[in-house]
Chains A and B, each alone.
Chain A
Amino acid sequence: MNSHKTINLDYLRKLARGDEKFVEDVIELFIKNTPNAIRNMRKYYERENWEDLMMEAHKIRPSFNFMGTREMEEAAKAIENYASRQTELEKIESFIEKIEKNIEEVYEELKDELRKINI
C-alpha cells in the first residue's frame, strides 16, 4: 500500500519482481540524474531551443512514470508535445514550473523510501 503523497512505487515494484536492490538502484539513478535534466529543460526553454527541450522532456517522462508521479509525467508529456509541434509555446513555462516546484517533495519521499529499504 502506497504511503507517500507524490510518489507511487507500485509499478516499479511490479517490474522489480521482488528485487529490492533493483528498486534501490533505480531510485538512486533518478535522484542523481533528474536535477540536471530539469535544469536542462529550463535552459533550453529560455534559449528557445525547442528540439532539445522536446528531447529532454521525452527522456524524463518515463522516469516520472516509474516513480509514479502522474502529474509530473503529464507535465513532461505536455512539454514534449508543445515543443515538438512548436505550438502554444507560452504554455510550456507553467509545466516546467510545476515540475520544478514539486520535485523536492519527490526527492524527499524517495530518500525516505531508500531508508526503509536499507533497514
Chain B
Amino acid sequence: MQTFLKMKKKPEIKIFFVDDDPIYTKVFVKNIEDSSYYSPLVKSFLSGEDSLRNVHERPDVIILDYYLKRDNNGLNGLETLKRLSRANPKSKVIMLTAQDDLSIAVNSIKFGAYDYVVKSETAFLKVQNAINNIMYHKLLYTKARGQKLWLKIASAALLAMVISMIAFSYLYPIG
C-alpha cells in the first residue's frame, strides 16, 4: 500500500466484473470505482459469453461469480473461468463463491482462478485486498523488467567501449 501512496499518479487497472445479478453488480462496481489506491477502468457483464467476447481487451483482473445462471444452455461460472483462463492467461480471476463451498473454491483454483472470495459482508474488502496485491505484483514486475532493460543497455555500452579500446590499441599501438 505504501508503494501506491508514494506514487504521484494512481496506477491504472482494467477490471471486468461478471455477474448476472444487476443489483450486486451495481454495488460492487461502485465499490471498486471508489478505490483510493488505483484508477480502475471497470466493465461489467451479465453473462460469461459477454465477458468472453471482450476478453481481447486483456483485463488485469476479472471478478467472476461462480453461480452464473445458465439461461438457454449458456456458460456457468466454472466454464467461463476455464475459457477466460485459456483465452488470456495473464488476467487474474477472482472467483465469487457461496458459503461453505470449499470444493468449489478448490475447483476454481484448480481451473485457473487467482483467488476466491465468499459473497458475504466482507467480500468487498477481500476483493479490494486481492486487487491491491495483484497491482503491487504487477508494478514490481514492471519495475524489474525496466531494470533488466537498463542492465542490458549498460552491458551493451560497456562491451562497445571495450571493443573500441581494443580496436584503438591495434590501430594505434604504443611504442
Q: Which of A12, A62, A63 counts the most B-chain CB atoms under 10 A from its CB?
A: A62
A55 touches B67 (CB 8 A): yes
A63 touches B30 (CB 8 A): no
Is residue A17 contacting chain B, with contact meaning CB distance below 8 A?
A: yes
Is residue A4 contacting chain B, with contact meaning CB distance below 8 A?
A: no
Contact A66 B99, CB 8 Å, known A16-B30, A58-B67: no
A29 touches which of B22, B30, B69, B121 (Cβ 8 Å): B22
For residue B21, which residues in chain A have a CB less than 8 angstroms away from its CB? 59, 62-63
B27 touches A59 (CB 8 A): no
Is residue B111 contacting chain A, with contact meaning CB distance below 8 A?
A: no
Specify the main secondary structure of chain A where it touches its partner: helix
Q: How many residues of B contact A (CB 8 A)?
A: 18
Is residue B31 contacting chain A, with contact meaning CB distance below 8 A?
A: yes
For residue B69, which residues in chain A have a CB less than 8 angstroms away from its CB? 55
List residues 33-80 of chain A with CB under 8 A from any CB of chain B.
33, 55, 58-59, 61-63, 65-66, 77, 80
A84 touches B98 (CB 8 A): yes
Q: Which residue on B lies nearest to A62, using beta carbons?
A: B24
B30 touches A33 (CB 8 A): no
A33 touches B23 (CB 8 A): yes
Specify the main secondary structure of chain B where it touches its partner: loop
A33 touches B22 (CB 8 A): yes
How far, in angstroms, from A89 to B145 measured CA to CA in the complex? 57
Q: How many residues of A contact B (CB 8 A)?
A: 23
B67 touches A59 (CB 8 A): yes
Is residue A90 contacting chain B, with contact meaning CB distance below 8 A?
A: no
Q: Which residues of B contact A (CB under 8 A)?
A: 20-24, 26-27, 30-31, 34, 67, 69, 98-100, 119, 121, 124
20 residue pairs bridging A and B, Cβ less than 8 Å apart: A12-B27, A15-B31, A16-B30, A26-B27, A29-B26, A55-B67, A59-B20, A59-B21, A59-B67, A61-B119, A62-B24, A62-B119, A63-B21, A63-B23, A63-B24, A77-B99, A80-B98, A80-B99, A81-B99, A84-B100
